[in-house]
Amino acid sequence: MASPLRAAAFADDAAGRQDKLKNSDSASHSTAPADTFFLPGPVLLLGAPGVGKGTQAQLLVTRYGIPQISTGDLLRGNIARGTELGLKAKAIMSSGRLVDDGIVNQMVLHRLQENDTHRGYILDGYPRTLDQASFLDATLASLDLPPRLPVVAISIVVAYDQLLQRITGRRICPTCKSIYNIHFNPPQVEGVCDLDACALTQRADDTEPVFIERMRTFEEQTAPVIAHYRALGRFEEADGDQSVDAVNAAIQTALLLLRQQVPQAAGR
């Protein structure tokens, strides 16, 4: 039977990931108590569309008991609620382009001030432009929010062809949020969820033309963000072309290393 958790390796859609992980048969993710001793601080998960940022962010949420802040999820939530912001974002998102920096920055600014961020948080899909990175750096410096640790960035790396298959093959159960991939991890019956027999859906931006546009946007606007954090020396790469658990182990090792290297409370 297809494992929804394994399927998550091929997805970057955070909606419902928590439920999916809870429903998973992989006890290593769902039963281990969160590590509340280690202080993760602000962590940026960077990488192209489909590298698995959302899946990995959810595992870090479980591991460290800190929130995931996904700008893609926040925007999709606005679309689902039919807010003014959602109406503005919808057409842009379905074309594969980026939503205005101003809109996304304000969303993140509000979210960072909620009271669950004091031990750290995982930013998933933000910053995606150099302007967003500057805004984040300036915001953290001026707000002086706990845990008062510098931002560290971890970039997940996966080859282009693999990403194309992950994205265009992704199918989601609208009810239980399980994620499949028609190439790597298909459901038992084509187009039908193994767990609740609902018809699987495809995200509007998971088509090949939109993927190509998203990759172009990534190369033009987000690759410089990765270069920015690499140059600051608060940066590690993780090979994303491995099992979900192996990628997660690599990310945790990178995070420990970065927190040992970066002087505490310095240079936000």
Residues with active-site annotation:
53, 128, 170, 203, 214
Supply the DSSP symbol for 52: S
Does position 16 bind ligand AMP by CB under 6 A? no
Q: Which DSSP string corresponds to 94-156?
A: HHT-PPPHHHHHHHHHHHHTSTT-TTEEEEES---SHHHHHHHHHHHHHH--TT----EEEEE
| Residue length of the chain | 268
Does position 75 interact with ligand AMP (CB under 6 A)? The reply is: yes
Check residue 49 for interaction with ligand AMP (CB under 6 A).
yes
Nearest residue (beta carbon) to ligand AMP: 72
Interior angle at CA 82, CA 80 and CA 86, nearest 5:
85
Interactions with ligand AMP, residue window 76-105 (CB under 6 A): 92-93, 96-99, 104
**Contact flag: residue 250 with ligand AMP (CB under 6 A):** no
Q: What does each C-alpha distance from 31 to 23, 25, 62 come to in angstroms?
A: 11, 10, 9
Residue closer to ligand AMP by CB (options 136, 262) is 136
Side-chain half-sphere exposure of 51, counting CA atoms within 13 A? 26
d(CA 5, CA 3): 5
Q: Which of residues 122-181 bind ligand AMP (CB under 6 A)?
A: 125-126, 128, 132
- Per-residue x/- marks for ligand AMP, 197-216, CB under 6 A? --------x--------x--
Single out the segment in contact with ligand AMP by CB under 6 A; choices: 19-27, 68-76, 171-179, 256-264: 68-76
55/132 with CB nearer ligand AMP: 132
Residue 265 Cβ vs ligand AMP, minimum distance, rounded to whole Å: 26
Q: CB–CB of 176/67 below 8 Å? A: no
Residues that bind ligand AMP (CB under 6 A): 12, 49, 71-72, 75, 92-93, 96-99, 104, 125-126, 128, 132, 205, 214
